[in-house]
A and B are shown apart, each in its own frame.
Chain A
Amino acid sequence: MVSLASDQSGTNEDLWAVLESVPDPEIPAVSLVDLGIVREVSADRVVLTPTYTGCPATLVIEQDVRTALDAAGFGHVRIETTLSPPWTTDWITDAGKAKLRAYGIAPPLAAGERAVACPQCGSTETKEISRFGSTPCKAQWQCDACLEPFDLFKCH
């Protein structure tokens, strides 16, 4: 059990650091902060938003955050969930996009971007195989240059 004595000792920066250390359970290459699902942090609460309504990772994420907060002495910090405004891939940080690419997942296209670049070889000679993949947030693509199949994080 975490002592409540630590109640006021943590700052918001400390809280963000803890959340930064919690990986997404389905794409562990990125943290919850990278993914943009941490919406608000204050002395006594953390607000999360789900990516998709049916995302099975939502509950696991909440449990992981609870565990991490407790371990860091933030046992008193509540976790809340909000639906509004709805999550969008625009909230994935630049660092998060770089980590996705390094992990082999093409990040969602930024505004104005047209072509999906293969995360393996960088070629934009790519095509969609299926709009749905192993998780709700990904589509299956293939690179015509290096022939590797890859996941694309869908714009949402």
Chain B
Amino acid sequence: MPSLPVIEKDVERRAEQANPGGAFDPAPADSGNLALFDYLLRLGDDSLILGQRLSEWCGHAPSVEVDLSLANFALDLVGQATFFLDYAGKVENAGRDGDRLAFHRDVLDYRNCLMVEQPNGDFARTMARQFLFSTWQKMLFEHLTGSADQHIAAVAAKAVKEVAYHEELSAEWVIRLGDGTDESRARMIDGIDWVWRFVPELFDMDEVASAMAAQGIGADLAAFRADYDRKVHSVLEAATLEVPNDQRPILGGRTGHHSEHLGHILSTMQFLPRAYPDAAW
């Protein structure tokens, strides 16, 4: 059994004082648009990281139709990320565009939720993650179509049509596998059980989320929690699966405190532009 790493007292103390921007960096200079920038990174990073994850299935999915579906999901998500991150770059106004933000930002500066960076696992776990995420993202985008920020509203109105497919297809797979063979059922139970712990973070109204909601730019996540639960429960019921017990929520992604998995994704995703910064298509 390997022993747990020892955390130095000093590190613990600094971590307690660290700002929510992640790591031990000094707090970034305050600006009226800081919360908006951060919010856009959340929207963009969720889509970007899940898109990158899903693209790992390319050539490996159980059938060619599923392979195409997952590649199409990934394409939609990366497309959404491009719009959100390009806009984030404009808001930040420091000369960074979407590509720069995607390929030259370090792991602690990523703002995606922990759910999307989790490894694909088997096909059931990937579908469980997709279902619990896309159901949330669709409701989020529906709310954001009424955002006071016209650009966010426009991207959301565009993207919600795409995410509707993601939700529908993944819900079908949750039902098919859950209400399938002993093997598929066991795997879907494992998948839902694993992803369940990352759901509370999706609805966490921290400072940035609250500030954005108060300005009418972001969504009040609590407003659709009941709808989300209803939808998820109905699909689990159709899949003849039990609703798992609530687990201790795991938070941190929105403030840059990620699981070990994100760094590995970025090392693949960012390798080329970092090794050859002047590379062009």
Q: Which residues of A contact B (CB under 8 A)?
A: 50, 52-56, 82-87, 129-134, 136, 140, 156
Contacts and interface: CB of A to CB of B under 8 A. Distances in A.
Q: Which interface residue of A84, A87, A132 has the most chain B CB atoms within 10 A?
A: A132
B80 interface: yes
Contacts of B154: 82-84, 86
B157 A85 contact: yes
B79 interface: yes
B78 A54 contact: yes
Interface in B3-45: none
B153 interface: yes
B213 interface: no
Contact of A52 (B65, B76, B168): B76
B217 interface: no
A140 B158 contact: no
Contacts of A131: 69, 165, 168-169
A46 B155 CA distance: 20
B77 A54 contact: yes
B158 A54 contact: no
A132 B79 contact: no
A133 B155 CA distance: 23
A152 B159 CA distance: 21
Interface string B80-103: 101100000000000000000000
Contacts of B78: 54
Given A84-B153, A156-B161, A56 B75 contact: yes
A108 B146 CA distance: 28
29 contacts: A50-B79, A52-B75, A52-B79, A53-B82, A53-B155, A53-B162, A54-B77, A54-B78, A54-B80, A54-B82, A55-B75, A82-B154, A83-B83, A83-B154, A83-B157, A84-B158, A85-B157, A86-B154, A86-B157, A129-B65, A130-B65, A130-B66, A131-B165, A132-B69, A132-B72, A132-B165, A133-B68, A136-B76, A140-B68
Contact of A53 (B66, B68, B79, B169): B79
B153 A53 contact: no
Nearest to A56: B75
A50 B161 CA distance: 13
Interface in B159-173: 159, 161-162, 165, 168-169
A55 B71 CA distance: 12
Q: Which interface residue of B66, B77, B79, B153 has the most chain A CB atoms within 10 A?
A: B79
A32 B260 CA distance: 45
A52 B155 CA distance: 11
Interface residues of B, number: 26
Contacts of B71: 132
A97 B168 CA distance: 26
A52 B162 contact: yes
A86 B69 contact: no
Contact of A54 (B66, B76, B165): B76
Nearest to B72: A132
Given A54-B79, A136-B75, A86 B161 contact: yes
B150 interface: yes
Q: Which interface residue of B154, B158, B168 has the most chain A CB atoms within 10 A?
A: B158
Contacts of B83: 53, 83
B155 A54 contact: no
A128 B158 CA distance: 25
Contacts of A54: 75-80, 82, 162
B172 to A, nearest CB: 9
A56 B168 CA distance: 23
A154 to B, nearest CB: 8
Nearest to A130: B65
Contact of A84 (B72, B79, B82, B150): B150
Given A84-B154, A132-B165, 15 more contacts: A52-B75, A53-B159, A54-B76, A54-B80, A54-B82, A84-B158, A85-B157, A86-B161, A131-B69, A131-B169, A132-B68, A136-B72, A136-B75, A136-B162, A140-B68
